[in-house]
Amino acid sequence: MNARITIIYGAPATGKTYHSGKFRRHYRAKRIVDDWPFALHGRRLKSGDLALTNNVGAALDAERKSDGRIRAVDIATAKREALQ
């Protein structure tokens, strides 16, 4: 399933930024936003964005409020899906 916006969340040093290029290709993202939501300084994510974050609560909250436009993926699932 490819959502319009994908947010990958997980603890620091788990490979989110290291594998971001592979995640971008797998999730067909146009842009990578690292350190979301802080990197955007209050601006919203755009369609096609791949956001990387340590903020689990913000990722799950964004997905819950998005009516299906945002998919939050934990780092372990992202690795299974994208690094096969």
pLDDT in tens, the chain (84 residues): 455 999 999 999 999 999 999 999 999 999 999 999 888 887 889 999 999 999 999 999 999 999 899 999 999 999 999 998
Count of domains forming the chain: 1
What lies within 8 Å, CB to CB, of 37 at 6+ separation is 51, 53, 55, 58
The pTM score is 0.92
Amino acid at 60: L
DSSP 41: T
pLDDT for the residue numbered 19: 98
Residues of the domain holding 20: 5-82
Residue among 28, 17, 70 nearest 45 (CA): 70
pLDDT for the residue numbered 58: 94
pLDDT for the residue numbered 3: 58
